[in-house]
């Protein structure tokens, strides 16, 4: 009996101690936090430091402390307000088009016959294209000589060249290309959400003789609202910080008509080499992104969470 007790005690002593959930979370998250500290926190802190200085490169590098002058200068810069209005215009149109096209694609994919299900793999391809590649592609399609507008006009016997990248409609054309690039991802998440809706709800809708629009509104759409909210936030952030797509497609043109805030920041910081002022303006862009997503959450997200 004593031998059994001693052997159990020895086995218990050799058994490794279990770690708590909090300790395990720390072990897993600390490497990620250190990586974020190096990749995100340091550049952000250095940019914050630059925003309080006037940086000069001529005659040697120098940084002169100017306090809040760079931030005050932003409020009186007309190019900032003009770029901000173009950013909002581009963002709103991109979000509406992306969600609308994504929802439409999801509905089409959901009702595809079995033999056409392979199309799901093809529809995701635009999202696999980099923003740089999408910019080159839509720049080619929008030009007056090689663009799709001129090709359509030629089909109807017209010799007129139609330039889609015009100063009046360039923001709308950019939004179409951005939606083409992002909508497939939205479509697949919405499709996955649709497939979790119980079939019996659609059977009950048929018994109640609901129309297709009523079925969509009362059966299909309610489970999608939180997913739509999430992708509204994601698409808003991605649209506001878009640079490479616009740079490769229009380079802020024609005549500055597509010079959104990210492109203006690029010109100030890397063309004019005014790093201090560019850093200050970049924090205004960060504030705009945070405020926009915060408004979306308080007006929409909290309501969805309560449901």
Residue 153 domain boundaries:
68-306
Residue 250 within any structural domain of the chain: yes
Residue 214 within any structural domain of the chain: yes
- 64 Cβ contact list (under 8 Å, min separation 6): 53, 54, 56
pLDDT digits over 238-280, tens only? 999 999 999 999 999 888 999 999 999 999 999 988 999 999 9
Residue 258 within any structural domain of the chain: yes
Residue 291 within any structural domain of the chain: yes
- Predicted confidence band of residue 16 (pLDDT cuts 50, 70, 90): low
Is residue 7 scored above 60 in pLDDT?
no
Q: In DSSP terms, which residues pair with 54 in a beta bridge?
A: 64
Residue 3 within any structural domain of the chain: no
pLDDT digits over 148-197, tens only? 877 777 787 777 778 888 888 899 999 999 999 999 999 999 999 998 98
Residue 13 within any structural domain of the chain: no
Listed range (147-161, 231-245, 289-303) with the worst mean pLDDT: 147-161
Q: Model pTM?
A: 0.86
Residue 54 within any structural domain of the chain: no
Tokens of 39: 């990749």
Q: What is the CATH number of the domain that holds 219?
A: 1.10.3720.10
Which DSSP category does 254 fall into?
Answer: S
How many independent structural domains does the chain possess?
1
Q: What is the DSSP string of 181-199?
A: HHHHHHHHHHHHHHTTS-H
Residue 137 within any structural domain of the chain: yes
């Amino acid at each position: 009996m004593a031998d059994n007790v001693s052997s159990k005690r020895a086995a218990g002593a050799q058994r490794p101690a279990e770690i708590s959930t909090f300790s395990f979370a720390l072990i897993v998250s600390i490497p990620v936090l250190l990586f974020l500290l190096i990749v995100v926190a340091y550049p952000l802190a250095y940019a914050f430091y630059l925003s309080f200085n006037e940086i000069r490169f001529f005659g040697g590098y120098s940084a002169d402390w100017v306090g809040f002058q760079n931030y005050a200068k932003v409020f009186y810069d007309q190019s900032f307000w003009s770029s901000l209005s173009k950013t909002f215009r581009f963002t709103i149109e991109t979000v509406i088009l992306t969600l609308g096209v994504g929802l439409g694609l999801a509905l089409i994919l959901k009702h595809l016959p079995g033999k056409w299900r392979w199309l799901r793999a093809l529809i995701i391809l635009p999202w696999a294209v980099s923003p740089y590649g999408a910019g080159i592609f839509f720049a080619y399609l929008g030009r007056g000589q090689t663009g799709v507008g001129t090709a359509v006009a030629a089909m109807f016997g017209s010799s007129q060249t139609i330039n889609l990248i015009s100063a009046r409609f360039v923001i709308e054309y950019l939004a179409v290309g951005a939606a083409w690039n992002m909508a497939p991802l939205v479509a697949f998440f919405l499709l996955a959400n649709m497939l979790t809706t119980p079939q019996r709800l659609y059977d009950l809708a048929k018994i109640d003789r609901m129309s297709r629009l009523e079925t969509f509104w009362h059966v299909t759409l309610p489970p999608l609202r939180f997913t739509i909210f999430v992708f509204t936030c994601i698409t808003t952030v991605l649209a506001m910080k878009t640079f490479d797509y616009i740079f490769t497609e229009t380079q802020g043109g024609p005549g500055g008509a597509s010079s959104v805030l990210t492109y203006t920041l690029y010109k100030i910081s890397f063309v004019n080499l005014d790093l201090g002022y560019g850093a200050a303006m970049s924090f205004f862009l960060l504030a705009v992104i945070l405020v926009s997503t915060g408004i979306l959450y308080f007006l929409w997200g909290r309501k969805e969470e309560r449901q």
